[in-house]
């Protein structure tokens, strides 16, 4: 299964649209947004896609935003971190600003931890867990997203103009 990972979009709808077009071209089957969505326009771009998202430190979801997510079938983040299982892999999704992130991001039962917040792409291992930050689509010298093939563990960073 090929997944697309993005973060720190800060409401930049056109950048998100370009990232999603790239994901479509590559055959991405699930999109993960690691927070700092930054507005309804970004959420509207995610409609109709298998998607997991978390809130970042700039996201202040109100009742209207939550009602929109419910109406269009996008999952509203509730847990920190959000734990999902895709293609037999356990994944924790954080933004990276949350209390406990630095001390508790990795668990012995996690294959991957995805996060954003730093606006810097990253790929490191901590024991058996691979920690990935896809980079950012706002306030980054080089704007990047990532794709990960869960079957082969192949990670690719993609630069967007």
Please write the tens of the pLDDT for every residue from 29-74: 999 999 999 999 999 999 999 999 999 999 999 999 999 999 999 9
Q: How many CB atoms lie within 10 A of CB 105?
A: 19
pLDDT in tens, 78-121: 988 999 999 999 999 999 998 877 776 777 799 999 999 999 99
Give domain limits for the chain.
2-160
H/E stretch holding 30: strand 30-33
CATH class of this structure's domain 2-160 = alpha beta
Residue 16, pLDDT > 90, answer: yes
Expressed in angstroms, the distance from the first to the final Cα of the chain is 26
Q: Looking at residue 103, what is its pLDDT?
A: 74
- Is the predicted pLDDT of residue 76 greater than 80, yes or no? yes
* Mean pLDDT within 25-31: 98
3-state secondary structure of 11: coil
What is the reported pTM? 0.96
Q: Render 131-158 in DSSP notation, one character per residue.
A: EEE---SSS-SSEEEEEEETTTTEEEEE
């Amino acid at each position: 299964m090929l997944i697309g990972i993005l973060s720190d979009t800060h409401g930049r709808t056109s950048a998100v649209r370009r990232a999603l077009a790239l994901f479509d071209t590559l055959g991405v089957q699930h999109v993960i947004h690691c927070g700092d969505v930054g507005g309804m326009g970004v959420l509207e771009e995610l409609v109709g896609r298998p998607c997991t998202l978390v809130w970042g430190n700039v996201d202040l979801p109100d009742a209207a935003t939550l009602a929109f997510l419910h109406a269009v079938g996008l999952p509203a983040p509730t847990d920190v971190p959000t734990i999902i299982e895709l293609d037999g892999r356990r994944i924790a999704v954080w933004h990276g600003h949350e209390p406990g992130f630095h001390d508790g991001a990795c668990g012995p039962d996690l294959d991957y931890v995805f996060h954003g917040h730093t606006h810097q792409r990253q790929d490191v291992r901590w024991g058996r867990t691979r920690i990935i930050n896809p980079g950012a689509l706002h306030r980054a010298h080089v704007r990047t997203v990532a794709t990960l093939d869960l079957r082969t563990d192949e990670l690719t960073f993609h630069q967007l103009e």
